[in-house]
Amino acid sequence: MSETAIFNDLLRPIRCIESGKGAYRSGPMSNTLLTLFDTDRYHEHYRMGFWRDDTVYALVRAHAERTPERVALRSASGNLTYRRLVMYVDSFASDLARKGVVGGQRVAVWLPSRVETVVALLACSRNGYVCCPSLHRDHTVSEITSLLHRMGAAAIVAEDGYGADAAKNDLFAQLSEIEAPLHIYRLGKSGAGLEAGLFPVPPIDEERPPAPQNANRVLYLAFTSGTTGLPKGVMHSDNTLLANARALSSDWNINNESVVYSLSPLSHNLGFGAMLMALAVGGQFVIHDLLRGTSLVDRLIETGTTFLVGVPTHAIDLLAEVKVRGLSGIGKLQGFRISGASAAPEIIAELLKCGIIPQSGYGMTETCSHQYTLPSDEPKVIVESCGKSCPGYEVRIFDREDPNRELPPREIGQIGGRGASLMLGYFDDQKATEESFNRDGWFMTGDLGWLDEYGYLRVTGRKKDVIIRGGHNIYPAKIEALAATHHTVQRVAAVPVPDQRLGERVCIAVMFRPGMAVRPEEIIKHLDDIGLSKYDMPEFFLQVDEIPLTASGKVRKRDIVHWIADGRVKPTPIRWEPNSNDTRP
């Protein structure tokens, strides 16, 4: 592995300007932005054009100069042109600079999807700051303050009354009590009739000039969902982010005439990436800030959305509205990236009937959305695979026990990847960074899957998401995908139940659609009917009112495991014996 650790930016002392009673630390920060930098691949990415000198801010500013009145952002607050967006960005960036925030320091954003998240990101790209917008709605105030400590934030932009425990805890009250040299931007609720962007445009003589543009320094700090442990801070540069945006937009013909709408929040990498892609090509990005009960179909038609981004649940809900209204299409909508989990065959078929080409994909915060199907792919390929790697990224499959041994096509192993959109490492965690790569520099995702002869990827589960029953490996992802095709199932999770003799047995937890619950035996029979091996059959059933999700739309299996361990819920034993031939011990 020809990787050289370099200091991306040496952090200077943080000065307390207007808030907090002391400092996280006295003197210079003990942490520096230590990143992975492979000089050979660096030159290769530039030679191939995957990396360039443009920053995100530089691209958006260029659009503002060429087409100043073109709409960049649409939200409930109104439309924002590229010209006005850059004015707000320059204003906010200048204010941060005046308050002493310096290159490499972190600017945290804890907001629902709204314009100010975009303003903060572009201001960070302009001035060389690191933007951390991956603070989610389901975070508590204590979790946010902990993350602020971890990242050593120099500023935070946050909304009143936001977060999982906003009814009983006030972030701003706690920030005033902690020792933090933190510049606080406190925003009220956004919505119709409220001005888009709350940063006043300064007089020309007060505007600070942009920092020298460097597309290879850290711009984006995103904390992973943390379904298996403490979230890790993933670092990306302008170039690692833009490499994926350029590839995806080219393959799917997304350009300055496109209107991109993300149903995933901007705090999640999926929504964040969609926003970045739209602005990079000079298109429009629609912020999903609809009030509960408002028609999504009407919003998509009204905005002229051409490309939609979301998870399978979004597709199911959208098609339900289409069916109720008897529609044959949804305005100008042509493409729909479905991520987070695989979509059922009937969902793919219904979208195609509406003239919408689904895009199945695979990616993660560390690698961006590098894997996806193409508009020309057959429906069977869209249903069964996650597509091929985009230009500038490679995927290989490695042995689960020996990450340095590559496997041939059609063998299941750990998915490894490398390329232009790969992260720069984990923030302040050299050990985790080093342990994530094999000896040849391939990033080990922790996901299991296989490649066919044409390079199309199938994901079978997590390396750590394998239930081992008496030495037999059972992959929950397969059980979940099959169970989700039953018309009564809204969410499903296959989790392990400890067994003294066999080690683990499978429990299937089901959240039914309202008023559609069926007997456990019907779900198990359905699994048998559509081909699940009897050796993989669940042996416990758990019906729950709610299966919690992460901010990225993934099932929080650890919660269900904890409920079972704590005795809060009790799975019911169930045994499928179609012909009394189940010979499992």
CATH number at residue 478: 3.30.300.30
Is 110 within 8 Å of 138 (Cβ atoms)?
Answer: no
pLDDT of residue 17: 26
- Assessment of whether the complete model's pTM goes beyond 0.75: yes
Please identify, among 345, 365, 392, the residue that sits at the C-terminal boundary of a domain.
Answer: 392
CA dihedral for 290, 295, 301, 306, sign (positive or negative)? positive
Does residue 381 carry a pLDDT above 90? yes
- Looking at residue 333, its pLDDT comes to 98
Higher pLDDT, 140 or 410: 410
> Is 578 within the bounds of a domain?
no
User: Are 354 and 476 part of one and the same domain?
Assistant: no
Is 163 part of a structural domain of the chain? yes
Q: Do 378 and 524 belong together in one domain?
A: no
Residue 166 lies in a domain: yes
CATH number of 94's domain: 3.40.50.12780
pLDDT of residue 142: 86
Residue 4: inside a domain: no
Here the tokens at position 417 are 């990847």
pLDDT range class, residue 546, cuts 50, 70, 90? very high
567 has pLDDT over 60: yes
Domain contains 292: yes
Residue 173 token pair = 């009250």
Residue 59 and residue 170 in one domain: yes
In a domain, 448, yes or no: no
Are residues 185 and 58 both part of a single domain?
A: yes
**Mean pLDDT, the chain, whole residue set:** 87
- Residue 278 within a domain: yes
Q: CA 253, 259, 260 angle in degrees (round to 5)? A: 85
- Higher-pLDDT residue of 465, 274: 274
Q: Judge if 379 and 527 occupy the same domain.
A: no
174 or 203, greater pLDDT: 174
b/e burial code for range 529-567 (CB count within 10 A of at least 16 → b): eeebeeebbbbbbbbbeebebbbbbebbbebbbebbeee
Expressed as residue numbers, the domain containing 90 is: 44-392
Across residues 553-577, what is the average pLDDT? 90
> 371 and 483: one domain?
no
Based on the fold, state whether residues 112 and 220 are members of the same structural domain.
yes
Tell me, yes or no, whether 471 and 383 share the same domain: no
> 217: Cβ–Cβ under 8 A, 6 or more apart, which residues?
8, 9, 33, 103, 104, 128, 237, 238
Tokens, residue 197: 């962007």
Kind of pairing between the strands at 540-543 and 572-573: antiparallel
* Nearest partner of 370 among 410, 337, 412, judged by Cα: 337
**If we measure between CA atoms, which residue out of 31, 47, 45, 42 comes closest to residue 2?**
42
Q: Provide the pLDDT for residue 500.
A: 76
pLDDT level of residue 248 (50, 70, 90 thresholds): very high
Which of 392, 411, 436 delimits the end of a domain? 392
pLDDT at 203: 55
- Regarding whether 480 and 341 lie in a shared domain, the answer is no
Based on C-alpha coordinates, what's the Rg of the chain? Answer: 24
387 with 248, same domain?
Answer: yes
| The last residue of a domain, from among 392, 414, 434 | 392
Please check the confidence at residue 241 and state whether its pLDDT lies above 50. Answer: yes
Taking Cα atoms as reference points, which of 124, 152, 150, 145 lies closest to residue 11?
A: 152
pLDDT at residue 340, as a whole number: 75
Residue 368 pairs with which residues in a beta bridge? 364
Per-residue pLDDT tens for 23-77? Answer: 333 233 333 566 666 677 789 999 999 999 999 999 999 999 999 999 999 998 8
Instruction: Tell which residue, 323, 342, 275, 349, has the closest CA to residue 113.
Output: 275
What is the predicted pLDDT for the residue at 230? 73
Which residues contact residue 478 at a Cβ distance below 8 angstroms, ignoring those fewer than 6 apart?
Answer: 460, 461, 532, 536
- Whether residues 197 and 313 share a domain: the answer is yes
How many folded domains does the chain comprise? 2
The pairing of strands 357-364 and 335-338 is parallel
pLDDT above 60: residue 584: no
Residues 363 and 493 occupy one common structural domain: no
For residue 438, is it within any domain?
no
